[in-house]
């Protein structure tokens, strides 16, 4: 973990209200792992804002972020050459089991951000299907974000839109069952409601309070292979303030230090309020 004053290399609005920013940070670029994040001091605001590492190059890291408040608005206005204060890499990222071959990535909206890093990291040795769900085609991660992404070798890109403007109509979780028999591991990033829907699909008993049957126990085996990245409000970003604490089957955990990546089955979703 390093705190660095870095230069903005580029900052482009690639989708309505969503920016792709490249930052010159070679020390963080060489150390970052898929699923980890950085925090950024946005102007004069006291609390840093957390952002997933979206991509890396030998000397730069990329952030993909949505303008959702005063901090991200300030960040969206930074120009090439401007200096920003970043801290990272932070947190626990994704892991791939040694025997896994087929990886299913499920993104809801801006949740695509950390999964692209994982996709690039794993695509040379794994078959990958990337499901991206968005409200409309304008919010999908396409060639405007990176020309080589959806044609990346070994990657099948599956778009899903709520209005049916591209791909299948509905939510990303609607087509999740179509790929579970194929997938060795599942990774996801998106809103809490998406995770709760995935938990019901993969293992309905914990949320419904039903007794497990043989089929549900088999589904639970798949659930233990599902890793999710939680997006929550953070104070310090490195475990000092406990503001991002959640309850899990293994006790209280801090998202910034013990996560942001957790096993889906470890989280007590009835108590999650993020």
Cα–Cα separations (whole angstroms), residue 126 to 68, 153, 225, 256, 262: 34, 10, 16, 28, 21
Given this model, what pLDDT does residue 274 score? Answer: 59
Averaged pLDDT, 77-82: 98
Q: Terminus-to-terminus CA distance in the chain, angstroms?
A: 26
pLDDT in the model for residue 144: 52
Lowest-pLDDT choice from 44-48, 146-150, 251-255 = 146-150
* Residue 215's pLDDT band (cuts 50, 70, 90): very low
> What pTM was computed for the model?
0.88
What are the extents of the domains in the chain? 2-90, 102-271
Interacting residues of 149 by C-beta distance below 8 A, sequence separation 6+: 116, 119, 141, 142, 143, 155, 157
Q: What CATH number has the domain spanning 102-271?
A: 3.40.50.80
| Phi (first) and psi of residue 264, to 5 degrees | -55, -40
Pick the CATH number of 2-90 from 1.25.40.10, 2.40.33.20, 2.60.40.1120, 2.40.30.10: 2.40.30.10
Say how far apart CA 1 and CA 236 lie, in whole Å. 13
Evaluate whether 2-90 and 102-271 have a shared fold.
no
pLDDT higher at 147 or 71: 71
User: Is residue 205 over pLDDT 80?
Assistant: no
Which band of pLDDT confidence, cut at 50, 70 and 90, is reported for residue 221? very low
Confidence of residue 20 (pLDDT cuts 50, 70, 90): very high
The CA distance from 56 to 229, in Å, is 18
């Amino acid at each position: 973990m390093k705190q660095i004053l870095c230069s903005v290399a580029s900052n482009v609005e690639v989708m309505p209200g969503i920016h792709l920013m490249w930052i010159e940070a070679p020390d963080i670029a060489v150390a970052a792992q898929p699923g980890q994040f950085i925090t950024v001091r946005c102007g004069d605001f006291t609390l840093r804002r957390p952002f997933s590492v979206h991509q890396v190059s030998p000397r730069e890291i990329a952030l993909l972020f949505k303008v959702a408040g005063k901090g991200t608005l300030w960040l969206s206005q930074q120009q090439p050459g401007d200096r920003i204060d970043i801290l990272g890499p932070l947190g626990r990222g994704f892991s791939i089991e040694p025997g896994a071959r087929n990886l299913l990535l499920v993104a809801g909206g801006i949740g695509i951000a950390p999964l692209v890093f994982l996709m690039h990291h794993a695509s040379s040795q794994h078959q990958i299907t990337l499901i991206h769900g968005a409200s409309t085609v304008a919010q999908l991660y396409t060639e405007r974000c990176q020309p080589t992404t959806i044609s990346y070798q070994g990657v099948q890109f599956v778009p899903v839109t709520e209005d049916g403007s591209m791909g299948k109509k509905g939510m990303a979780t609607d087509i999740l069952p179509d790929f579970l028999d194929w997938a060795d591991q599942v990774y996801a990033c998106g809103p809490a409601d998406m995770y709760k829907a995935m938990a019901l699909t993969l293992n309905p008993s914990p949320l419904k309070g039903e007794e497990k049957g043989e089929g549900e126990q088999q589904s639970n085996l798949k659930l233990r292979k599902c890793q999710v990245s939680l997006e929550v409000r953070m104070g310090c970003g490195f475990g000092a303030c406990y503001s991002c604490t959640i309850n899990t089957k293994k006790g209280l955990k801090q998202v910034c230090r013990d996560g942001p990546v957790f096993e889906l089955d470890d989280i007590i979703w009835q108590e999650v309020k993020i």
